């Protein structure tokens, strides 16, 4: 594997993960009450707990995307 190939792979991984994060965030914002009700019934959780779980999910996904996709891509670009 060459450095250019790895740079391309990490670049596309970053783009796809950020797109998925943006889509998920948008859907949670738009469908907040409805989807919180559905997930609350599925997992026997209060709506406030479901909304906290959404926030935790989005925060963790963002951190993982930065650490495992964006930073390796940036390191390869700078090398």
pLDDT digits (tens, 9 = 90+) for 19-38: 999 999 999 999 988 999 99
| Exposed e or buried b per residue across 11-42, where buried means at least 16 C-beta atoms within 10 angstroms of its C-beta | bebbeebbeeeeeeeeebeeeeeeebeebbee
This prediction's pTM: 0.87
pLDDT of residue 10: 97
**Gap between the Cα atoms of 2 and 9, Å rounded:** 11
């Amino acid at each position: 594997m060459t450095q250019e190939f790895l740079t391309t792979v990490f670049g596309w991984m970053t783009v796809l993960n950020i797109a998925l994060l943006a889509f998920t965030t948008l859907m949670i914002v738009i469908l907040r009450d409805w989807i919180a009700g559905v997930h609350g019934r599925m997992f026997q959780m209060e709506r406030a707990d479901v909304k906290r779980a959404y926030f935790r999910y989005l925060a963790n996904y963002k951190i993982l995307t930065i650490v495992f996709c964006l930073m390796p891509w940036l390191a390869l670009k700078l090398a």
